[in-house]
């Protein structure tokens, strides 16, 4: 069964990404718009709130696919899945693969490694420290096992 990000997971992403309807350069110079959308964004671009929500949905679908790719190994609960979708949304599927050591790490090892992904451009950023802490807290949160067989 494929999982989808819950409203709790979307709230986590939205909280840390924020929404900007005009293109801006992020902390490492990448053009970004909406809720952290980067694909095809250019200087001077503007979008509507509906477009921002659409980009978020599409970007989350890519992150969901990446995290679901490891579900057969880990059988994520909803909290773990949501935390890793937020992580993947922010860090990309290559960093997810590294975090999971391509499926070789245990759940506790994954949890312990989440906080290490707190740098952009080689510098520790307070916002990324807070985001990784929130993702780790959600990942470790009991419950979230409401999966259908």
For residues 51 and 47, give the distance between their C-alpha atoms in angstroms, rounded to a whole number.
6
17 is known as an active-site residue: yes
Tell me the sheet residues that pair with 34. Answer: 20
Q: Within its chain, how far is the Cα of 66 from the centroid?
A: 10
Catalytic residue among 17, 64, 109, 135: 17
R_g of the chain computed on alpha carbons: 15
Catalytic residue numbers, as ranges? 17
């Amino acid at each position: 069964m494929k999982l989808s990000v819950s409203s709790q997971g979307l709230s986590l992403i939205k909280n840390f990404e924020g929404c900007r309807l005009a293109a801006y350069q992020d902390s490492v110079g990448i053009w970004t718009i909406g809720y952290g959308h980067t694909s095809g964004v250019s200087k001077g671009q503007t979008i509507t709130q509906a477009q921002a929500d659409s980009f978020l949905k599409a970007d989350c679908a890519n992150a969901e696919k990446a995290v679901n790719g490891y579900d057969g190994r880990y059988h994520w609960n909803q909290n773990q899945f949501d935390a890793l979708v937020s992580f993947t949304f922010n860090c990309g599927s290559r960093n997810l693969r590294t975090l999971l050591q391509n499926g070789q790490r245990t759940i506790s090892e994954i949890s312990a490694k989440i906080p290490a992904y707190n740098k952009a451009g080689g510098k520790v950023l307070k916002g990324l420290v807070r985001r990784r802490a929130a993702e780790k807290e959600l990942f470790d949160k009991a419950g979230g096992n409401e999966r259908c067989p």
